[in-house]
Chain A
Amino acid sequence: MNRDSAKPLPYSDERHQAAHQFLVEEAALLDAADYHGWLHLLTDDISYVMPVRVTTARGAGFDSLDGMGHFDEDMYSLRKRVQRLDTEHAWTEDPPSRTRHFVSNVRTFATGEADLVVESALLLFRSRGDTREADLLSAGRTDLLRQTDAGLRLARREINVDESVLRTQNLAVFL
C-alpha cells in the first residue's frame, strides 16, 4: 500500500483522528458481534488477507509463506462467513466466544489522495465456555481506508499475526 512518506501524520491531524476512530468503532462492532454492521464498513472490492507467518533465519528475506494464508477473502467469502454465523448451526460460535479487540499503536499515513494507510496493533482476547484457557492473538495490521460518500471504508487489510502456530482452535473470528 503506497504512502506519501515514511512519517505518520501527527496525532493532531484530523485524518489520523478519523482513522483512529474508525478502527475503534470497528472493534466495538466486532466485540458486539454486529457482523452485518462490520460488513458495512468494507468496500465491495475488499481484500482481507492474513499470511501464515513462519520462523526463518535472520536474513532469509521472508517470514511468511508464499501463496498460503489463514485468510484471503473478498466480499463474497466474508459475506458467507457472516451468513454462516447467522445460521442456527455454526456450533463453534454457539455459545459465542467473548472477545475483546484491543487496538493500539495506530499510525496513519497520507497517500497523496484522500485514502489513508493505517497501521495498528491488535490484541484479540477470546474466551469460550468455563473450562478452557482463553486465547490471545497478537497481530499488526496494515489497512487501506478509502474516503467514500458514506465516510471512511476499509478497502484492504493485511493481518500480520505474531505467531507461526496459532493458539486458538479456529479463526471463526475477525481480526
Chain B
Amino acid sequence: MIDLPAVLADVGRGMIPAHIYNDQEIFALERDRLFSRAWVFLAHESEIPAPGDYVVRRVLADSFIVVRDESGMVRVMFNMCLHKGMQVCRAEMGNASHFRCPYHAWTYRNDGRLAGLPFHVDAYGGDEGLVRKGQALLPAPSMDSYNGLIFISLRDDAPPLRDWLGDFAFYLDLYTRQSPAGVELRGPQRWRVRANWKIGAENFAGDSYHTPHTHASVVDIGLFREPKASKRKEGALYLAGPGAGTTYKLPPGGSFGEQLRYVGYPDEMVAAMASTWSAGQRGLVEQSGFMVSAATLFPNLSFVHNWPVVDETGAVVPFVSLRQWQPVSERETEVLSWFAVDAAAPAAFKRQSYRAYLMCFGSSGMFEQDDVENWVSITDMAGGSMARRLLLNSRMGLTLGGDPIKPPLATFSGPGVAYQGFGEFNQRHWLSMWSSHLKDGAW
C-alpha cells in the first residue's frame, strides 16, 4: 500500500517519488479521482464537419461517439448499447445517420435516441414492456467546447469549460484561433509507447531545460535554429489557470509583423492574427518578445508550436500540433497527435506546415523520437523497488528555502505568472493539480 499523504507531501515540496511514474495503485487513483472528473479533450469540431460525421474517442476505458447529429449539434454518447452492452459503433470514424448494435439490432439515431428495436411487440409487448420513447445512448455527463475543441467531464456538475480554462484560454487562442475561421485538425496519428502518461504532460508544460540536450540532433542538422541552450534559456515559462507552457525569446526590437514573419507566417496570416488577437496577445509577441512553443492543459492535452527549416532554400515554416497522452495503464500510453492549422491559411502554407509538423513531431517526428526514448526509459526504471527509495529533484528555480531564485517577470504581456530562464515551476504547477485531484478528488 502506498502512503498517499506522504507521496503528496513529497510532491508538494518538489521531490517526486519516482514510483509514481509506474505504479498500479497510483494509476487506479488517477482513474478514480482524476479522470473521473477533469475536463478531458476528445475531438475538434473540424473533424466532424457534416451532419452524421463521427469519431470514436476514449477516456481511459470508456469509449465515446463524438457525432454531429442531423440538426448540426455535436453530441458525445457512451458507446454501449442499452440492451446488452455491445459497442454500437466499432469504426473509429465515418458518417452515419444511425448506429445499429450488431448483437440484437437495437438502432439509435445519430443524436442517440433509440429509433427502433426488432420485435418490439413480440418480445416486449410493445410499450407495455419497454417504453421506446425516451430511450437514448448515455450522454457524456458533461460536455462543452472552446474554439471548437470538444471536452467532456465524467462528473455531472462540471463547471463551465470556459470558467475552468480561466487564464489559460489566452494562450489556447494563440494555438487555436489565429483567425476568425479558427483551427482545423488533421489526424490523429496514433501510437502506443511504454511510458507513463504524466511524463509527456509534464514535459510539454515546462521542460525547456531538456531541449538543448535531448534535441541537440535537430540543431546539429540545421532543422531548427532555436533549441540551442543559449537561446532556450532566454525563453519565458508561464503558468496560467489549469495550463502552463514554454516560449522562445524572439529577436530584439521586431514589430508584431516582423516577429511572425521571422517564424515563417505569410503576410495574410500575420494580418489575420493582428486583427483577431487582443492587445495583450499581440503584446506577448511584440512588447514582451516571446513566441509560444510547448504547453500542456491539465490533465493530458499538450500543444507545440515550432518553426523548422523545411527545404534546401532555408525556408522557415511554423506548425502547430495538439497531442493527447491517453493513459492505457501505469506503464503504457497511447499518443494521439494532430496537425493543426488555421482553417483560412493559404493552401500552400497548409501543405508546408504539414510537412514541417511531420519532420518534427508525431510518430516519425525528429524531436518526438528522442522524447519518447527518455520517457520509456524513465517508466521502465520507475517500476522497480529502488524507485521507491528515490525522490526525483523537481525543484529547479527554487532556493533550498523554497523561494524563487529569480522573481517572476514584472512585465509579461499575458495572464498568470511567468519566469524567464530554466525552472520547473510549470511541472510543479501541473503536479499540484494532480495532487489536488488525488488527495480527495476535489479541485
Q: How far is the CA of A11 from the CA of B300 in the complex (A)?
A: 52
B228 to chain A: closest CB distance in Å?
12
> Does B312 sit within 8 A of A, measured CB to CB?
yes
Checking A66, A70, A81 against B366 with a beta-carbon cut-off of 8 angstroms, the contacting residue is A81
A82 to chain B, nearest CB (A): 9
CA distance A50 to B364 in the complex (A): 10
Chain A contacts of B369 at CB under 8 A?
Answer: 90, 92-93, 170-172
**Smallest CB–CB gap between A109 and chain B, Å?**
28
Q: Which residues of A contact B193 (CB under 8 A)?
A: 169-170
Taking the closest CB of chain B, its distance from the CB of A108, in whole angstroms, is 28
Q: Which residue of B lies closest to A168 (CB)?
A: B191
A52 at the A/B interface (Cβ < 8 Å)?
yes
CB pair B220 A89 closer than 8 Å: yes
Within 8 A of A (CB), among B312-339: 312, 334, 339
Kindly report which residue of chain B lies nearest to residue A73, judged by CB atoms: B358
A170 B221 Cβ-Cβ under 8 A: no
Interface string of A131-175 (1 = CB under 8 A from B): 110000000000000000000000000000000111111111000
User: Per-residue 0/1 for B379-415: is the Cβ within 8 Å of any A Cβ (1 yes, 0 no)?
Assistant: 0100000000000000000000000000000000000
Chain B residues contacting A165 (CB-CB under 8 Å) are: 190-192, 334
Q: Is the CB of B376 within 8 A of A55?
A: no
Instruction: Assess whether B374 is interfacial by the CB under 8 Å rule.
Output: yes
Q: Indicate if A112 sits at the interface (CB-CB under 8 A).
A: no
A7 at interface, CB cutoff 8 A: no
| Inter-chain contact total with CB atoms closer than 8 Å | 126
User: Could you tell me the distance between the alpha carbons of A77 and B311 in the complex, rounded to whole angstroms?
Assistant: 8
Complex contact B91–A68 (CB within 8 A): no
Q: Which of A52-100 contact B (CB under 8 A)?
A: 52, 54-57, 60, 65-73, 76-77, 80-81, 83-84, 87, 89-93
In-complex Cβ contact of B372 among A70, A80, A92 (8 A): A92
What does DSSP make chain B's interface, helix, strand, loop or mixed? mixed
B187 contacts A by Cβ under 8 Å = yes
Contacts of B220 in A (CB 8 A): 83-84, 87, 89
Q: Are A87 and B221 in contact (CB under 8 A)?
A: yes
| Contacts A91-B373, A169-B376 given; does A56 touch B91 at CB 8 Å | yes
Task: Indicate with 1 or 0, residue by residue over B341-382, a CB within 8 angstroms of chain A CB atoms.
Answer: 000000000000011001100111110111011101000100
Q: Determine the chain B residues whose CB is within 8 A of the CB of A167 once the complex forms.
A: 191-192
Q: Is A84 a contact of B373 with CB atoms below 8 Å?
A: no
Q: Given the complex, which residues of B lie within 8 Å of A50, measured CB to CB? A: 364
A85 and B190 alpha carbons, distance in the complex (Å): 24
B275 contacts chain A at the CB level, 8 A cutoff: no
B residues 184-229 near A (Cβ < 8 Å) are 186-195, 213-218, 220-221, 223
Known: A54-B93, A165-B334. A84 touches B218 (CB 8 A): yes
How far apart are the CA atoms of A72 and B193 in the complex, in Å? 22
Known: A68-B187, A165-B190. A56 touches B94 (CB 8 A): yes
Chain A residues in 8 Å Cβ range of B363: 70, 166, 170-171
Q: How far apart sit A87 and B221, CA to CA, in the bound complex (Å)?
A: 8
Binary B-proximity of A109-120 (CB < 8 A = 1, otherwise 0)? 000000000000
Asked if residues A90 and B370 are in contact (CB atoms below 8 Å), the reply is yes
Say yes or no: A72-B190 contact (C-beta < 8 A), given A56-B92, A83-B221: no
Task: Give A70 to B220 CA distance when docked, in angstroms.
Answer: 23
Q: Complex Cα distance A66/B46, Å?
A: 13
Are the CB atoms of A71 and B94 closer together than 8 Å?
A: no
CA gap between A84 and B189 in the complex, in Å: 22
- Inter-subunit contact B359/A169 (CB<8 Å): no
Contacts of B380 in A (CB 8 A): 131-132
Known: A54-B93, A171-B364. A84 touches B221 (CB 8 A): yes
Let me know if B231 is at the binding interface, CB within 8 A. Answer: no
Interface residue B162 (Cβ < 8 Å from any Cβ of A): no
Are B311 and A69 interface neighbours, CB within 8 A? no
Closest 9 pairs (CB-CB, A-B) = A89-B216, A171-B364, A166-B191, A92-B373, A89-B217, A170-B369, A87-B220, A92-B369, A165-B190
